[in-house]
Amino acid sequence: MSAIETVLKEDRVFPPSEEFVKQANISGMEAYKALCAKAEQDYEGFWRDLANEHISWHKPFTQVLDESKAPFFKWFADGELNISYNCIDRHLKDKADKTAIIFEKDDGTSEKITYQQLHDKVCEFANALKSLDVQKGDRVIIYMPMITEAVIAMQACARIGAIHSVVFGGFSAGAVKDRIKDAAAKVIITANESVRGGKRTPLKATVDEALANGDCPSIEKVIVFKRTDTEVAWTDNRDVWWHDIIKGQSTVCEPEVMNAEDTLFILYTSGSTGKPKGVEHHIGGYLLGAILSMNWVFDYKPSDVYWCTADVGWITGHTYICYGPLAVGATQIVFEGVPTYPDASRFWQMIEKHKVTTFYTAPTAIRSLIKLGADLPEKFDLSSLRLLGSVGEPINPEAWMWYYEKVGGSRCPIVDTWWQTETGSNMIAPIPGAFPTKPGSCTLPLPGIMVDIVDETGNSVPNGQGGSLVIRRAFPSLLRTVYNDDNRFVSTYFPEEFGHKLYLAGDSAARDEDGYIRIMGRIDDVLNVSGHRLGTMEIESALVAHPLVAEAAVVGKPHDIKGEAVVAFVMLKGDRPVGEEAQKIAAELKAWVAKEIGKIAQPDDIRFGENLPKTRSGKIMRRLLRSLAKGEEVTQDTSTLENPQVMEQLSQSI
Ligand code: WTA
């Protein structure tokens, strides 16, 4: 069976219940088609009306789309707004006392804050940032645990027009340093420690390490939130406590008037070459994407209790925790912990406790919870749920069915949402009151999103045939550039081969006979490990930075729970190690990668060879390595290899 046949084999169809359709924001296929038709006929008018309807503008825009410098597109370019105003202030008229955030701590206790309280805290902290001379356009790194203050910090930056760049709390000092330097950040906001799954991680100490030796001269201040009682080392003049700097600050801070095309944030993500890229999103278009998908895909209702389990260190946590839910005035959960602590029923317990209606998580979490307790959801009252979501990687039909039946009681539509850091918001996803869903398919593009699947020449491929996923027209929430690297933006996303006209997603996909899309995986050297994006080159660079390593090649192999696992093929400077020595060095290299990048990038499997298989022109034969990693029979021609026994060596796991 070909790869496409394998991914298309699931053909059950699950229409939404009549009850769901009746209450849905978009009911029935005709309503969806009408929206798509409007976008087809009058693309700018379509986006203009939505932007006017959903965003509170300080000054309305007159021009919708400026394509004069394509692919550097501008949306609503002369409009003025503030995203923090849109997320908080505009709700105070009628929702001041509505719960904005239910914060559930790692230990199971929870606290609530209302929109009014959120407003006051964001203003206080925004004023504190100003007191440290943080100004419009300055870059601020946020390296925080998953606590309410992470959202407050992001909103406060947005309120004063500072550009935030959130770095996932699991990244190492090296990764933090790279991001600080690339962004030339002025301030970093962190916590003394994070608390997850009963374990504490020293965030402030990691920041100290990143800033050691005067490596990051742009940083003027380190703001430290005191999450635990643990003492931390202190650098006077540089370090300040969060609780000290908010003391005496006013709870009023006028939102800075921003242009729709001012930068909201930079978020670093892995690509196929070199260092992570700073994906840059601008305010107006990004906000519109977040709001529309909350309404269309999550079918948002004011009575919802919404919970997205992502970390704010990733795009999902930006759009579907910090901005989207707040922009529509939702009550949402911010969760500090992990799904498996104190045991594998944590998610189900929390859904029961907080009467969650809308639950958005990743396939990797679903798969691990099936493994740890497939029957656990039955022990809880999950009847509050009305909609389930999945994001970050393909969801296999088995996991989809379990999620649908055991968690959703065969009652809740599943929205399998395909999108990327670069697209800012959901692109291909079910409209739950309109589309029948199919396990393993993210279904159809959202209205106005001109998705296509093309061959190498940019021509559409017929249904049933795989190809490269592209988007034919620019849309508001698309990234604007790669921070400080316009050339990389163009060559990566609007490549020459498609005449700089198509947005290249980097995924392969196929449509079935109904036009439903299935994502088959990345076509570049990007791995998706537990829904986290990792560049093979990044891990290779980390490995070759180790004094023992001469050369390294990294590929992925399928993994039951993580989706993909990291396999590293390594050639040392000295002899190929065997036995205990090989084990010792493999362990050392794993720890090294964890230190250089973060634990998420640590190879699962390291294999040593006297050399690596290369083509005549000296390129590493990655396809062959992928076969070796999977334990498949090697079908590629290996006759040109200088040292044929290397194949035998590299097929051995340590
Ligand atoms: C993958 C995460 C299949 C895809 C929001 C994409 C998916 C990459 C899905 C982006 C999905 C995301 N089905 N694959 N529903 N959602 N992906 O930037 O390969 O962390 O290109 O954004 O994740 O990862 P990123």
pLDDT digits (tens, 9 = 90+) for 236-255: 999 999 999 999 999 999 99
Ligand 1 centroid to 527 CA: how many Å? 10
Determine which residue's CA is closest to atom 11 belonging to ligand 1.
Answer: 418
pLDDT digits (tens, 9 = 90+) for 325-358: 999 999 999 999 999 999 999 999 999 999 999 9
Ligand 1 centroid to 525 CA: how many Å? 14
Question: What's residue 618's pLDDT?
Answer: 76
Ligand 1 atom with the smallest distance to the CA of 533 is: 20
- Would the pLDDT of 54 be above 50? yes
Question: What's residue 6's pLDDT?
Answer: 47
- Would the pLDDT of 154 be above 50? yes
Cα Rg for the chain, rounded, in angstroms? 24
Determine which residue's CA is closest to atom 4 belonging to ligand 1.
Answer: 393
- Would the pLDDT of 2 be above 50? no
Residues 287 and 80: their CA atoms lie apart, in Å, by 13
Ligand 1: which of 420, 477, 482, 504 to mutate, judged by most atoms within 8 Å of the beta carbon?
A: 420
Ligand 1 atom with the smallest distance to the CA of 522 is: 19
Ligand 1 centroid to 9 CA: how many Å? 21
- Would the pLDDT of 97 be above 90? yes
SS3 of 248, please? coil
Mean pLDDT, residues 204-229 taken together: 97
Of the pLDDT bands very low, low, confident and very high (cuts 50, 70, 90), residue 102 is: very high
Ligand 1: which of 419, 534, 536 to mutate, judged by most atoms within 8 Å of the beta carbon?
A: 419
Ligand 1 centroid to 304 CA: how many Å? 26
Residue-by-residue DSSP string for 516-569: -EEEEEESSSEEEETTEEEEHHHHHHHHHTSTTEEEEEEEEEEETTTEEEEEEE
Determine which residue's CA is closest to atom 13 belonging to ligand 1.
Answer: 394
Query: Which residues on neighbouring strands pair with residue 194, listed in sequence order?
Result: 201
Ligand 1 centroid to 420 CA: how many Å? 5
Q: Lowest mean pLDDT of 40-54, 391-405, 429-443, 603-617, name the range.
A: 603-617
Of the pLDDT bands very low, low, confident and very high (cuts 50, 70, 90), residue 147 is: very high
Ligand 1 centroid to 632 CA: how many Å? 26
Of the pLDDT bands very low, low, confident and very high (cuts 50, 70, 90), residue 5 is: very low
Ligand 1: which of 297, 367, 519 to mutate, judged by most atoms within 8 Å of the beta carbon?
A: 519
Residue 628 sits at φ, ψ, to 5 deg, of -60, -40
Question: What's residue 632's pLDDT?
Answer: 86
Enumerate residues lining ligand 1, CB below 6 A: 269, 314-316, 391-394, 416-421, 442, 505-507, 519, 522, 528, 533
Q: What percent of the chain has pLDDT over 90?
A: 90
For residue 264, the 8-state DSSP code is E
Laid out side by side, the sheet with 481-482 consists of 239-241, 221-225, 187-191, 139-143, 163-166, 263-269, 277-282, 481-482
Ligand 1 centroid to 314 CA: how many Å? 11
Question: What's residue 3's pLDDT?
Answer: 45
For residue 12, the 8-state DSSP code is -
Query: Which residues on neighbouring strands pair with residue 551, listed in sequence order?
Result: 571
Query: 138: left (phi > 0), else alpha (psi -120 to 50), else beta?
Result: beta
Ligand 1 atom with the smallest distance to the CA of 422 is: 18
Determine which residue's CA is closest to atom 7 belonging to ligand 1.
Answer: 393
Ligand 1 centroid to 507 CA: how many Å? 9
Ligand 1 centroid to 107 CA: how many Å? 31
Nearest one of 533, 516, 592 to 11, comparing CA atoms: 516
Determine which residue's CA is closest to atom 22 belonging to ligand 1.
Answer: 420
Ligand 1 centroid to 437 CA: how many Å? 18
Question: What's residue 633's pLDDT?
Answer: 81
Mean pLDDT, residues 128-139 taken together: 98
Ligand 1 centroid to 323 CA: how many Å? 19
The pTM assigned to this predicted structure is: 0.94
Ligand 1: which of 533, 536, 562 to mutate, judged by most atoms within 8 Å of the beta carbon?
A: 533
Residues 340 and 260: their CA atoms lie apart, in Å, by 41
Residues 488 and 490: their CA atoms lie apart, in Å, by 5
Residue 599 sits at φ, ψ, to 5 deg, of -60, -35
- Would the pLDDT of 638 be above 80? no
Q: Structure tokens of 81?
A: 């707004």
Ligand 1 atom with the smallest distance to the CA of 416 is: 15
Ligand 1 atom with the smallest distance to the CA of 421 is: 18
pLDDT digits (tens, 9 = 90+) for 501-554: 999 999 999 999 999 999 998 988 899 999 899 999 999 999 999 999 999 999
Question: What's residue 10's pLDDT?
Answer: 64
Of the pLDDT bands very low, low, confident and very high (cuts 50, 70, 90), residue 391 is: very high
Mean pLDDT, residues 82-108 taken together: 98
pLDDT digits (tens, 9 = 90+) for 265-290: 999 998 877 688 999 999 999 999 99
Mean pLDDT of the chain: 95
Ligand 1 atom with the smallest distance to the CA of 506 is: 21
Ligand 1 centroid to 462 CA: how many Å? 23
Residues 376/370, Cβ–Cβ less than 8 Å = no
Ligand 1: which of 311, 444, 478, 528 to mutate, judged by most atoms within 8 Å of the beta carbon?
A: 528
Ligand 1 centroid to 522 CA: how many Å? 9
Determine which residue's CA is closest to atom 6 belonging to ligand 1.
Answer: 420
Residues 386 and 334: their CA atoms lie apart, in Å, by 19
Determine which residue's CA is closest to atom 15 belonging to ligand 1.
Answer: 418
Residues 541 and 481: their CA atoms lie apart, in Å, by 24
Ligand 1: which of 507, 523, 525, 600 to mutate, judged by most atoms within 8 Å of the beta carbon?
A: 507
Residue-by-residue DSSP string for 116-134: HHHHHHHHHHHHHHHHTT-
Question: What's residue 9's pLDDT?
Answer: 58
For residue 419, the tally of other CB atoms under 10 A from its CB is 25
Top pLDDT among 316 and 615 is at: 316
Determine which residue's CA is closest to atom 24 belonging to ligand 1.
Answer: 420
pLDDT digits (tens, 9 = 90+) for 566-586: 999 999 999 999 999 999 999
Residues 235/219, Cβ–Cβ less than 8 Å = no
For residue 62, the tally of other CB atoms under 10 A from its CB is 10
Question: What's residue 288's pLDDT?
Answer: 98
Ligand 1 centroid to 368 CA: how many Å? 19
Residues 322/300, Cβ–Cβ less than 8 Å = no
